[in-house]
Each structure stands twice: as C-alpha cells, then as structure tokens.
Structure 1
Amino acid sequence: MEFRVRAPELKGRGWLNTGGKALTLADLRGKILLLDFWTFCCINCLHVLDELRPLEEKYGDALVVIGVHSPKFEHERDPKALAAAVERYGVHHPVVDDGDMHIWQQYAAKAWPTLAVVDPEGYLVASMAGEGHAEGLSRLIDELVAKHEANGSLHRGDGPYVPPPAPEGLLHFPGKAIELPGGHLLVSDSARHRIVELSPDGETLVRAFGSGVRGEPFSEPQGLVLLPPGVAETAGYDVVVADTVNHQLRGLNLTTGAVTLVAGSGKPWRSTVDDHAHDALAADLSSPWDVAWFDDKVIIAMAGIHQLWWFDPIKRTVGVYAGTTVEALRDGPIPDVWMAQPSGLSVGGNRLWIADSETSALRFVEDGVMHTAVGQGLFDFGHVDGPAAEALFQHPLGVAATADGSVLVADTYNGAVRRFDPASGAVSTVDSGLGEPSDILVTADNTVIVVESAAHRLTRLAPGVVTTVTGERHKTERPPSHLAPGEVTLDVIFTPAPGQKLDSQFGSPVRLVVSASPAELLLEGEGTTTELSRRIVLNPDVPKGVLQVVAQAATCDVDAEFGACHLTRQDWGVPIVIDPAAPDRLPLILRGMDA
C-alpha cells in the first residue's frame, strides 16, 4: 500500500502578493505547489529565490510557488519589514507570513532554506534543504505534470499572484555608496539593477550605468570600490562593482562609462575550498556583497559562502583570503576562521573591518589574524550598548572606519548607526529610527552619509549627542531537537533527483563536516568525512548547544552523453537539548522523496 502524507494547512499571520486574499490549500488544489521556507536575512534563501525564477516562468500555468517566511531575527517578524523585503528582492509569488513559525513546525523544517513540493491532490511528495535543487525540481515537476494531467487532477491556468504597484523615486533600495574624486557620489541602486552617480547633495542624478533591467548587465549590485590611480590605469577601469546576484565583479570606467566583466563565470560557487589563484573570469563566485582595497588587492565579502576572497585586477586572478565556508563565529589565523555572511568592509590603517551580518558581529583582520570586536554568535542579537563584550547588534550590513580610529556600524535590523571605540572598548548609539541602513560613507571632509536602504535615500548624519541604549537582548529560539547523551547517529538523508545519480568520478561524491558550539558538546565525531552517516558522542555534562553540520552531494545526469553535473549543499545549525529519554538518532534531509 502506498503511504501518502497530506500537506498541512498554510495558517499564517497574513499574506503578501495576493491582493489581500488569504489562501488555503483548497484554493490551490489542482496546482503543483512549491513551498519555499525562507527568511530574508539568509543569503542561501536569496539564492533559492533566483533559482526558482526560471521554474516559475517555465511552469507558470501549472506551478504555484508559495514563499513561507519563517523569521530568524526579531526585525524580520515585523510585517512592514517583510513587505519591504518582498519588494526589495523582486519576489513574484505569494508569500505567507509565518511569524510564529507554525507552518515551519508543521512541515518539520530544520534549516533555511527548505523546499517542499505538494502535488495537485494535496499530498506532500518531496522535501529538501539548501540550494542547488533547480534541475532536480524541474524533473520532478515534469513527472508530476505528466502523472496528474493523465489522471485529470492538474488544472492549468493563472495562479494567485497579484503584483504590487510600481515603485517611484530616484533610488530603490540602494545598497552601498562611495565618494568619487571631486565629491560626486557613486551609489548601487540595487533594486533597480543599476549604478548611479549623484551630485554631492545625494539627490541629483548625474548619470546612470546599466539599463535598470535585471541582468542588463547588473542584478542587485551592492559593493563599490575605487581603485588606486595606477592600478586603474593598468586595469582599464576605475571602480570594481560587486554584481551580487550575477555572482560576478564588474569594472566601471568613469571616463567612457564602459562596464566590463572582470571576475566570475556567472555560475554560483558549488565547489571545494583551496588556496590557489584562479583565472578570474573562469572562477565561480557566490553573492559578492562588498569590496575594499586592502593589502594591495580587492578584498571581496563573499557573503554566499561565508568567506573573504581576493581579486587582483592586474593579474586578473582571484582566490580565497579568509574562511572555510563553515557558517559560524571563530577567530584566529585567517585561513581557519568561521564567518557568517560578511556583508560590509572598510579599511582603517592596517585593519580591515568587517560587518559579519549573520553573527551580528563587528570583526577585523590585522596581520593575518581575525578578531571579533563585538558579537557573540549566530543566534545572539539585540540593541545593547556598553562594553564590547556585552554589546549586541542585529544583522549589520555596513561599516566605516573613521579618522579618529573609531568605527561606525550600519546596524541594519536595529535601524541605527552605532559607534565602536577601540580605545575604550565601548559601543554607543549615534542615531536611530533609520530605514534599514545598509552602508555608511565618511567623505573627504568627514561628512557621514548613511545609505537608508528601506527609506530609498541617502541621509547626512547630523552631529548630535551620542546615546547609550540598553535595549532588549534576543536569542533565536527555534524548536530544538532532543537527543540522548552519549552515542548518537547523525544521518543526512539524500536521494538523487529524478534523472540523476551520485557522481563518483572524482572520488567520494559526498562530504560531511560536523562541529559544535560550545565545542565541549561533542566528545567525538567532529571533523570531515566522506559518508553522510556519522557516529557522534554528545557530552552529558553540556545540557544544550548547537550542532553545526555541512553536507554536500555531487550528482550527474543519467544516460546523457554530455550530462550536467550538480552539487547540492546545505549548512545546518541545529539547536539540541540533551535528554536521557530522547532518541539516539538525528536525521537531516538534504533531499528526501516520498513519491
């Protein structure tokens, strides 16, 4: 007898992109549903949004994508912030606000992003975590279309998406800004997919680079850096642009207006880490979010894989600068550190300052070693001033070193500009009530300009009284997994997508990396292996913690002369509680099929 599971109902706080209508599974019967569990801070979730766009276009009359927004940060629980994020990232499907994580729990999600497929009869047929599933989803949808068209249960036609009104104004969710020689400002107008030059007032358009259409050539660009004159002359362009959603860097010649591709194949990174130099145009990048000139190279905040990379515009090569791709917070020599979506860079003296957004941290590199100035980890955040060891940010995206040695932080989800003073080790609040500030620019005359992304403007920071805020402390509380102390089996469940098989031509097709926070939680089982099942030993004296699990599986197409290869990858931060009465097995679904 075939065992089939009914999909749980979509009971949320509200709906977006439906014209105000709340949808039910009954309303969607007859369509193939693809539920995308996401949160708008998560770079992997943003990758999935882009992976789904071709599927939405290809299967538009048979497939309905539903975004299920299950928030991590407190700011993401705000319905207005969610509405802004849906607009910012060009989400063209209905989104249900799962602010209390009810739908998340009903579908047993354990990671952002998670995808679930529901057939036209209302049964859950597949679930998968992470990114890189587009090809497998396409094959699965083809199978479901054929099956349900044959039995008459597939109903083609328009879906429930209702587009929002077109935006107005000069800027639309600007990302980053730099000052040009002569005082003009260069701004990444991210949601309009262009770079704009503004007069020093920050309100008058001088010229625009790019068509303003996604992908022609820019797609949600972010960071900008002005090259030193000698380097610019040799390279043939003046500014390096982080073309974020295209996974590329572009060069901008300010004299001719020419835009040139200078790094990135255009394919998102799906490989392994090495310390070699690579041809810049052939390399796969992953959501470069900011760029800075440091150590005689362009340093790239590679948000998509939690690393810093370098780019040499003269040799036209790129390589890894810092980080292992593990998403967490760990300091030390830069090859071994852990980061979490580095999104802002600024150079002050011999230090490279970093806004490490998912750990809500301010970090810096000095003499080849990374340090954390402020920040406590992936799940601790808030708006608290005072000694750095006690201070908290909430998903900062921008940072600016100042002439007096202090550092300004665009504390994005707190809507504030914060100041860290290395001399005193204290954090204070300079301004608040801002619209998701994403960058800070200190001009040549020491004017401070804030990129208020959600307010679609640049704002000059007026000199004022620095305040001390003792706000709320938050800790992301996801439903934990209860596990027995001692020996536990960690199983990552992976089934190749339809038409694919595990690809062992270059060795083991799977890789599993396990660590824990605190480290004492794991008595045995830390490290990297080439199997998706692992025996670990949990410390009975550590009552709770987080298991950090990174899994990947390589597949290739079956029975194809020149079949494509694919890499599926996911990072989990699994909260666990030690419970003697709990199971001794932890299953995590990388890709699971029920049909």
Structure 2
Amino acid sequence: MASRARVRAPELVGAGGWLNTGGKELTLADFRGKITILDFWTFCCINCLHVLDELRELEEAHRDTVVIVGVHSPKFVHEADHQAVVDAVARYEVHHPVLDDPALATWKQYAVRAWPTLVVIDPEGYVVAQHAGEGHAHALARLVEELEAEHAAKGTLRRGDGPYVAPEPTAGSLKFPGKAVRLPNGHFLVADSGHHSLVELAEDGETVVRRIGDGQRGLVDGDGSDGAGPRFSEPQGLALLPEGSAYDVVVADTVNHALRGVRLADGLVTTLAGTGRQWWQGSATEGPAREVDLSSPWDVAWFDGRVWIAMAGVHQLWSFDPAADTVAVAAGTTNEGLVDGPAAEAWFAQPSGLAVSADGER
C-alpha cells in the first residue's frame, strides 16, 4: 500500500503582522525543530475562548518543545480591527505569538472552515493533524508526546525557549472590567476581569476601597485570611441580591464555569454552582447546584427569587435557585442562532448580558 504523501505546511502570512514577538516578523523557519500548533481563532467566538483555556496546560507542560501560534482570523468586521485584536490578546492573556490575519490569507492557505481550528505541524515542517472545534486537548497532548519521542530519536527535535515575548505591563487599578453594580452603601463593586478579582470603589468611582481576590487565576474560596485566595478566573457578571440573603453578590466566574457568592461584610467567597468543569453535550442540565457543570456563565441577574444566568458557552439561559440550591436550563436548545418561540425551542447566540426592567417585573 502506498504511503500518504506528506504535506508541507504553507507559510504564515497576515497583513496585521505579529503580536507577542517583541516586534519580530516570524516565518515557519523560526519554528523548525519545534512542534507547532496553529490555533485559528477570533476573539468574539466563545468556542475559540474555550480553546485558549484548553491550551494553557499543554503550553506550560511542553514549553521547551511546543510553540503555539494563534492565527487571528476574523468572522466580523470589528474583529478585523488591529487594535481590537491587540486588546483581545491582552484581555485573554494569550501567552504565545499571534499572527493578525484580517484578510484570512493563512486561513485560506490551510483550507480552514470553522472557528476554532487547530493544526499541528511537526518539527520538520509537515502538517500532521487538524482538528475543528473544542475539546481536543487530551488528543493533542498524546500526539505531542508521540512527536516528541519520534523526533528526539531522529535528532530533529529542538528544545529551548520559543519566540514568545511578553508585552510591557500596563499600570491601572482595573483591567478589562466586566460589570459594575452599585452597593447599598453607595460604593461600586466591579468585576475586574483582567486581574481575576473584584474591586470595591468609593462613591467617586475611582478610589479603591478594597480588592476581593489575590489576582491569581484559580478557583479558591475563602476570605484570604489564610494567605491563599480567594481566587477567580476572568469574572464577568455581577448581581446584587436582596437584603437578608446568605451572600450579598453573585459573580459569574466565567472561565471557572462557576457562580460564586460574596459576603461583603468580610469578603468571604463561596462557590454556589458549578464544578469547575465545562459542560459538555450529554452532561446534566439540572440538579444540585455544585454537582452540575456550567459553561462560561457571562452574566447574572436576580429576578423572581432566582439568579438568571447568561450561559454563553452553550447558547442558553439557566437559572440558580438559592432556596433549593439547584440549577436548571431555563431557555435555549444549545443550538446557536436567532430563533424565537417557546423557551424550550428558542435559539440564542452566545448570550452575554442580562437586565431586569426598572419595575422589576420582567
């Protein structure tokens, strides 16, 4: 049987140039000897954001043999704006080189058809795998280990640091804040997404009163009195609960796939819902709150005795009942689109914001 012809990876080109390289323009030759994973993504795609998080562990575990290269491939006009791409790379803590390809030149060269798509290139510059969608981290890890062994034996594997150059840090009390709510004392509580924490501001909206969270990405409860945590991972939405509740604020802890409760008196943080794992097709859609997986909850709102959840990761609305300590799907089918109708039949597209009417009745 004839062996399949090996396909050499096309060159990487993009009119927007390179980010996270210290200003250097890279070519495939710069990655020779490394296992290169191209991540074709765009910053408004929730599935692409999931893949960014899936790749973090692989990136850290194989730092001396693997180079991940983001190829930013816009779906919408705004996503082709270069400064918007720069901001997204900073916001989502992308710690590898990114090629800004606003005209989809490299996307077309690799015959990519879906966001996100991952392409694996071996140390000799040949394409060895391509995966569309999310959920491929374990398969990629196995392939990387096989390629490491194969090319170490052949002498074609080059170990050492990759071409990533961290950008200069920017100062500021807030970094990509997700949402703010006004507290009963007139202060403001802000989801400081980029710093993985919450910030309480004085009535002037500028003076920092305190920070809840140690600024490190993680899922850690507590009030920080033990020197560890609490920790969030890109918190986005906030909802103030009625007076007398066990906690004062509910936080959509987006990348942790969880809801967190905050007691303002002492800054105590408690996980209310979610397991820390991402919901996958076939997982439970209702049950005890801390036993059901969630998927990128982006915003929350208090209405009719429940916390409503914009579940961006699965294109649905869910609800959390604090009295029963349960979660359940409230609307949507997980299909992405714009379809009206009964709650169980409606389609949403990455719902990311919720609001209750001024009279609180809808």
**TM-score interval, smaller chain:** over 0.9
Shift of 1:309: 0.4
Shift of 1:169: 0.9
SS in 2 for 1:214: coil
Shift of 1:81: 1.0
Task: State how 1:471-550 maps to structure 2 within 5 Å.
Answer: none
SS in 2 for 1:298: strand
Alignment correspondent of 2:9: 7
Task: State how 1:34-433 maps to structure 2 within 5 Å.
Answer: 34-215=37-218, 216=229, 217-230=231-244, 232=245, 236-272=246-282, 277-348=286-357
Amino acid at match of 2:201: L
Distance 2:78 2:360 in 1: 30
Do the aligned residues in 2 keep the contact of 1:178 with 1:187 (CA within 8 Å)? yes
List per-residue Cα deviations over 1:186-231 (Å, max 9, x = no partner).
100100000011011110001110001111510000000011124x
Alignment correspondent of 1:409: none
Distance 2:359 2:250 in 1: 21
Amino acid at match of 1:308: L
Distance 2:71 2:360 in 1: 40
Do the aligned residues in 2 keep the contact of 1:224 with 1:291 (CA within 8 Å)? yes
Amino acid at match of 1:205: V
Gaps of 5+ in 1: 353-365, 367-595
Shift of 1:345: 0.4
List per-residue Cα deviations over 1:340-394 (Å, max 9, x = no partner).
1100100116788xxxxxxxxxxxxx6xxxxxxxxxxxxxxxxxxxxxxxxxxxx
Amino acid at match of 1:198: L
List per-residue Cα deviations over 1:214-272 (Å, max 9, x = no partner).
11510000000011124x1xxx2111000001111100001121011111100000133
Equivalent of 2:36 in 18, 33, 38: 33
Distance 2:335 2:112 in 1: 20
* TM-score, normalised relative to structure 2: 0.94
Query: Across the two proteins, how many residue pairs are aligned to each other?
Result: 348
Distance 1:120 1:349 in 2: 59
Amino acid at match of 1:264: G
List per-residue Cα deviations over 1:442-475 (Å, max 9, x = no partner).
xxxxxxxxxxxxxxxxxxxxxxxxxxxxxxxxxx
Distance 2:121 2:91 in 1: 27
Distance 2:172 2:275 in 1: 33
Do the aligned residues in 2 keep the contact of 1:273 with 1:324 (CA within 8 Å)? no
Shift of 1:12: 1.0
SS in 2 for 1:49: helix
Distance 1:145 1:33 in 2: 12
Amino acid at match of 2:12: L
SS in 2 for 1:128: strand
Distance 1:164 1:48 in 2: 22
Shift of 1:75: 1.4
SS in 1 for 2:348: coil
Shift of 1:109: 1.0
* TM-score, normalised relative to structure 1: 0.57
Distance 2:274 2:268 in 1: 18
List per-residue Cα deviations over 1:28-71 (Å, max 9, x = no partner).
11100000000000111111011000001110000000000001
Shift of 1:295: 2.6
SS in 2 for 1:137: helix
Which structure shows the bigger proportion of residues in helix conformation? 2
Amino acid at match of 2:247: Y
**Bigger Rg over Cα:** 1
Specify whether residues 44 and 351 from structure 1 end up closer, same or farther in structure 2 by C-alpha distance, changes over 3 A only.
farther
Shift of 1:22: 1.0
Amino acid at match of 1:243: D
Alignment correspondent of 1:436: none
Gaps of 5+ in 2: 219-228
Distance 2:304 2:119 in 1: 45
Which structure shows the bigger proportion of residues in strand conformation? 1
Distance 1:197 1:351 in 2: 25
Alignment correspondent of 1:576: none
